[in-house]
């Protein structure tokens, strides 16, 4: 496998939906009957990716899945998850919707709120990337086959190069996760490990030991 090469001046990190709702046991996904055990191991590698991105001076962009309290902007989600409005799942301004404490956005980071799976749909994500002069996006977070995949497909359609650290993404189901990664590798981007990404983002003044 060729060594990953990234231009830190042209690369941004997009961290997808690492929210209390998905990661915490008392978050709303678990209350909706979705076992999040496979999502929780992403916390450590995502934190490493974020730290590496900050050291390298990359723009760091966190996305959050949100909805109004009345769910009028949630579309078909309120049909697929009829209990979501009752438990206040992903309601803007609540603990459920916040990025987990281990990944608290820094003042210089971006936070993009979205009401659909793709972080590009009806948001300012593309404006941010264009303003930062980015042509490559590193995408991590949850869930692999839904919001991560949807964001990657839309990034590819906009001609961004895509890099995905495979241990920093996860899904509620192993088969769907693995299938999504195969599709991403086949048609959209480059799969790496968190360690490979860290090495690619290591500043020249900080040689690997």
User: Is 31 one of the annotated active-site residues of the chain?
Assistant: no
* Catalytic option among 96, 109, 140, 147: 147
Paired tokens of 96: 């459920």
Taking the domains of the chain in order of start, what are their residue ranges? 8-200
Over residues 6-35, mean pLDDT: 97
Sign, Cα dihedral of 154, 157, 161, 167: positive
* Catalytic option among 17, 96, 109, 149: 17
Read off the pLDDT of residues 49-75 as tens digits, 9 standing for 90 and up: 999 999 999 999 999 999 999 999 999
161-165 and 136-142: which strand pairing? parallel
Look at residue 205 in the predicted model and tell me its pLDDT: 44
Look at residue 202 in the predicted model and tell me its pLDDT: 85
Does residue 92 carry a pLDDT above 70?
Answer: yes
User: Is 17 one of the annotated active-site residues of the chain?
Assistant: yes
Answer whether 156's CB lies under 8 Å from 31's CB.
Answer: no
Chain centroid to CA 123: 15
What is the average pLDDT value for the chain, to the nearest integer?
95
Does residue 209 carry a pLDDT above 90?
Answer: no
Under the banding of pLDDT at 50, 70 and 90, the label for residue 77 is confident
Under the banding of pLDDT at 50, 70 and 90, the label for residue 118 is very high
Answer whether 15's CB lies under 8 Å from 148's CB.
Answer: no
Under the banding of pLDDT at 50, 70 and 90, the label for residue 31 is very high
Under the banding of pLDDT at 50, 70 and 90, the label for residue 12 is very high
Does residue 204 carry a pLDDT above 90?
Answer: no
Does residue 208 carry a pLDDT above 60?
Answer: no
SS3 label, residue 206: coil
CB atoms within 10 A of CB 38: 16
Chain centroid to CA 152: 10
Look at residue 2 in the predicted model and tell me its pLDDT: 58
Query: Longest C-alpha distance within the chain, in Å?
Result: 53
Under the banding of pLDDT at 50, 70 and 90, the label for residue 93 is very high
Whole-model pTM: value is 0.95
Look at residue 108 in the predicted model and tell me its pLDDT: 97
User: Is 173 one of the annotated active-site residues of the chain?
Assistant: no
* Catalytic option among 96, 109, 114, 149: 114
DSSP assignments along 146-166, one per residue? IIIHHHHHHHHHTT-EEEEEG
Distance in angstroms (rounded) separating the CA atoms of residues 19 and 182: 25
Closest by Cα among 157, 81, 188, 158 to 169: 188
Q: Which residue reads 């303003």 in tokens?
A: 131
Over residues 114-121, mean pLDDT: 98
Under the banding of pLDDT at 50, 70 and 90, the label for residue 81 is confident
Q: Say which CATH superfamily domain 8-200 falls into.
A: Isochorismatase-like (3.40.50.850)
Whether the link from the prior residue into 143 is cis, omega within 30° of 0, is yes
Under the banding of pLDDT at 50, 70 and 90, the label for residue 78 is confident
Give me the numbers of helices (H) and strands (E) for the chain, helices first please.
9, 7
């Amino acid at each position: 496998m060729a060594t990953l090469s990234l231009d830190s001046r042209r690369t941004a990190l997009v961290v997808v939906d690492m929210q209390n709702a998905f990661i915490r046991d008392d978050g709303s996904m678990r209350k909706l009957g979705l076992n999040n055990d496979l999502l929780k191991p992403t916390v450590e590698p995502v934190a490493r990716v974020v730290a590496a991105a900050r050291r390298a001076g990359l723009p760091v962009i966190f996305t959050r899945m949100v909805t109004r309290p009345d769910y009028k902007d949630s579309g078909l989600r309120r049909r697929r998850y009829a209990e979501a409005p009752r438990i206040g799942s992903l309601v803007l301004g609540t603990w459920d919707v916040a990025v987990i404490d281990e990944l608290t956005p820094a003042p210089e980071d971006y936070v993009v709120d979205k009401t659909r799976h793709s972080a590009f749909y009806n948001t300012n994500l593309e404006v941010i990337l264009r303003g930062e002069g980015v042509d490559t996006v590193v995408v991590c977070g949850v869930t692999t086959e839904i919001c991560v995949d949807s964001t990657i497909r839309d990034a590819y359609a906009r001609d961004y190069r895509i890099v995905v650290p495979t241990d920093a993404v996860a899904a509620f189901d192993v088969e769907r996760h693995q299938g999504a990664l195969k599709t991403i590798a086949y048609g959209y981007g480059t799969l790496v490990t968190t360690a490979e990404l860290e090495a690619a983002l290591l500043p020249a003044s900080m040689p690997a030991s």
